[in-house]
Structure 1
Amino acid sequence: MSSNPRPEHKRHEALSLIFRSDYRWLAERLRFRLGCGFQAEDVASEAFAQLAALPDLDHVREPRAMLTTIAQRVMYETWRRRDLERAYLNVLAQMPEAVHPSPEDRAQLVESLLAIDQALDGLSAKARSAFLYSQLDGLTYAEIGEQLGVSASMVRQYMAKALACCYAAAEA
């Protein structure tokens, strides 16, 4: 029988070592940045969960740098989600209560908005706006062009890019 540890055991040991040496450090750094120990723990835990999901921990030479990068992404995504939810709730507050969706439908709508937001992440503000005007408001390309101060052919280009992003996100 070989004395080499199994790959999954080696991976578990590497992750355990990183966790023991860097979790407290990351949580404290985040607590200082976020001003809240509970949020810091949540972000640090999610950063470690994402680190654990990486296919090959052997290539992680600077765990603290990797954890910092992952944690920054987690914070950014959390802030985007909060801002999107807040904007949705502001719009909802302006509508008559009779047309408010159920809490389940509201949660599903927010998740859908987040998925669309992520799919359109790499686009310019005008391209995102063109897509949303088209899909949510039902505006024609000419009407969108008037809103954005661009030509209808530019709106077509924006829409092509936005749809390509949505298809890529759907396949991922």
Structure 2
Amino acid sequence: MPDVNPMQHNQVGSLYRDHRGWLHQWLRQRLGCSETAADLAQDTFIRLLTKEAAPQPESPRAYLSTIAKGLMFNHWRRQALEQAYLEALALQPEHESPSLEEQHLVVETLLQLAQILEGLPNRDKQIFLMARLDGLKYQEIADRLNINVNRVQKAMVRCMQQCYRVLYD
């Protein structure tokens, strides 16, 4: 964790003391689970501690709830991805099922891939997945999507640039 200056630590500490209970309750109402709400509330304050500048919100509850909403959406996204993966695993013969460690690595990789593709146009995502996951050649993708190969190539360039930005910037 980066160094936290004393002023920032005091400001986050003050926000924590004044609003932790409210934030936990706010999250619990939306999540229906006190333990997950506590985790996300804690993660919210950790985010504040790791920010470059000390937070000085005019409306602390709105500020905290905005950060917590992002964490909540990430939590739901992860749950949905894990559920989809487990459903796909259930269709596999039992002797082909990966170990729990392998399952965890796959879920982490899928989450990273989802993060990489976030913000790209849907068509670009579709092209990327058809090329990388389905193993289709650019001409096959173009034929299936009724577009030209040049459009497939350009989409792949945008996707690869996005991969590079997320992984190395």
Q: What is the TM-score with the length of structure 1 in the denominator? A: 0.88
**Worse-superposed segment, 82-91 or 15-24:** 82-91
- Aligned residue runs from structure 1 range 103-114, under 5 A: 103-114=100-111
Which whole-Å CA distance do the structure 2 matches of 1:58 and 1:69 have between them? Answer: 13
Task: Go from structure 1 to structure 2 and tell me whether the alpha carbon gap of 1:73 and 1:58 turns closer, same or farther (over 3 Å shift).
Answer: closer
CA distance in 2, matches of 1:58, 1:108: 35
Amino acid aligned to 2:110: L
Question: Is the partner of 1:31 in helix, strand or coil?
Answer: helix
SS at match of 2:133: helix
Structure 1 residue 47: Cα displacement:
1.0
Question: Residues 48-59 of structure 1: matches in 2 within 5 Å?
Answer: 48-59=45-56
1:121 to 2:129 alignment: no
Segment drifting more, 88-97 vs 77-86: 88-97
Which residue of 2 is the match for residue 69 of structure 1? 66
Task: Name the structure 1 match of 2:160.
Answer: 163
In the alignment, residue 112 of structure 1 is paired with which amino acid? T
TM-aligned CA deviation for residue 78 of structure 1: 0.8
**13-22 vs 95-104, greater mean Cα deviation:** 95-104
**Which of structures 1 and 2 has the larger relative contact order (alpha carbons within 8 angstroms, sep 6+)?**
2
Deviation, structure 1 residue 59? 4.4
- Matching residue within 81, 98, 122 for 1:84: 81
Residues 18 and 63 of structure 1 are in contact (CA less than 8 Å); yes or no, is this contact kept in structure 2? yes
RMSD: 1.7
1:73-117 Cα deviation digits (max 9, x unpaired) = 101111111111111122222222222221111111111111111
Report the alpha carbon displacement of residue 151 of structure 1 after superposing the two structures with TM. Answer: 2.5
Work out whether 1:142 is the aligned partner of 2:139: yes
CA shift, 1:10, in A, is 2.1
Any unmatched runs of 5+ in structure 2?
A: none
Q: Within 5 A, what are the aligned runs for 1:20-31? A: 20-31=17-28
- Provide the rounded CA distance (Å) in 1 between the counterparts of 2:144 and 2:78: 26
Percent identical among aligned pairs is 36
- Match status 1:96 vs 2:93: yes
Q: Number of paired residues?
A: 166
In structure 1, C-alpha distance between the alignment counterparts of 2:85 and 2:146, rounded to whole Å: 26
Q: Which amino acid aligns with 2:66?
A: T
Letter in 2 for 1:137: D
Q: Is the CA contact (8 Å cut-off) linking 1:141 and 1:152 kept in structure 2? A: yes
Distance 2:144 2:85 in 1: 21
Which amino acid is the alignment partner of residue 120 of structure 1? Answer: L
